Every structure is written in structure tokens, then in C-alpha cells.
């Protein structure tokens, strides 16, 4: 389910439902880019936050193998492959946000402080 569909079905503001995008750095490290559902990820800003020259989004089939979850169902925590988490600063202003709940038809509400603590997330402006 796309974030806009989830927002419409639940009545939750699209800005509080995240896109969780599996990416890979030039050095071969994986990172989860977490941005509000009504924003687009800025890959140059994400690369800067990770201290690397570039970051590319993984194709859906590879993203699922890395995270352990289908696209549209990927949560912000609990991945098959450990990866850095970059949390867009827009989301850091909320007490909670919603993300994929492990499948395309479930949402998970997470506390921002818990996400930062559990993932050692980097908070940066990575959306436009």
C-alpha cells in the first residue's frame, strides 16, 4: 500500500506516515531513509548525512531481501540486515509517527524517541 492510500484508509495525516526506503552507499553499506509520506527523499542530503559521496535506492526486490519486509510494509525498526537509519528532521518533531507494520496492509505507530534509541538514528533534513 502506498502512503497516500494508507492515509486515505486510516484518516492519518500523510505527513505522519513514513516512506522507509532501503538504500546503499558507495561503500556498500545499507541505510534506511525515513521521510514523511508527502515528501520526496533528497539523496544528496542523505549521502551528506551518512558522510559519503552518494546513496542509491535499492530496487524493490533487493530492498525486501535486505530488510526482510515487502515494499510498503517495511517498518522503521527490526530489519533482517542491520542498517543505519536516517530519520528526516520533519519526523523528529512528532511524538509518534506511523510506518509499515511488516506487511502491506498494516501500520505500526512508533515513538520518535524509541526509534532514535533503538536504531541510533541520525536525524537530518533528507526530504524535499
Q: Which residues of 18-45 are buried (b: 16+ CB within 10 A; e: fewer)?
A: bbbbbbbbeeeebbbbbbbbbbebbbeb
pLDDT per residue as tens digits for the range 47-60: 999 999 999 999 99
Topology of domain 3-124 in CATH is: YbaK protein (3.90.960)
Entry pTM: 0.94
- Check residue 11 and give its pLDDT: 87
Give the residues of the chain that fall short of pLDDT 50. Answer: none
- Check residue 1 and give its pLDDT: 56
Which are the contacts of 41, defined by CB distance < 8 A and separation ≥ 6?
Answer: 19, 21, 33, 35, 57, 126, 127, 128
Amino acid at each position: 500500500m502506498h502512503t497516500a492510500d494508507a492515509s486515505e484508509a486510516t484518516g492519518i495525516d500523510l505527513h505522519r506516515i513514513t516512506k522507509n526506503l532501503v538504500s546503499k552507499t558507495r561503500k556498500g553499506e545499507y541505510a534506511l531513509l525515513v521521510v514523511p509520506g508527502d515528501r520526496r527523499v533528497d539523496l544528496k542530503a542523505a549521502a551528506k548525512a551518512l558522510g559519503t559521496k552518494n546513496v542509491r535506492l535499492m530496487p524493490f526486490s533487493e530492498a525486501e531481501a535486505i530488510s526482510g519486509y515487502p515494499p510498503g510494509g517495511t517498518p522503521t525498526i527490526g530489519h533482517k540486515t542491520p542498517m543505519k537509519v536516517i530519520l528526516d528532521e520533519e519526523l523528529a518533531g512528532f511524538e509518534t509517527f506511523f510506518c509499515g507494520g511488516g506487511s502491506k496492509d498494516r501500520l505500526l505507530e512508533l515513538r520518535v524517541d524509541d526509534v532514535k534509541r533503538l536504531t541510533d538514528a541520525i536525524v537530518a533534513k533528507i526530504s524535499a
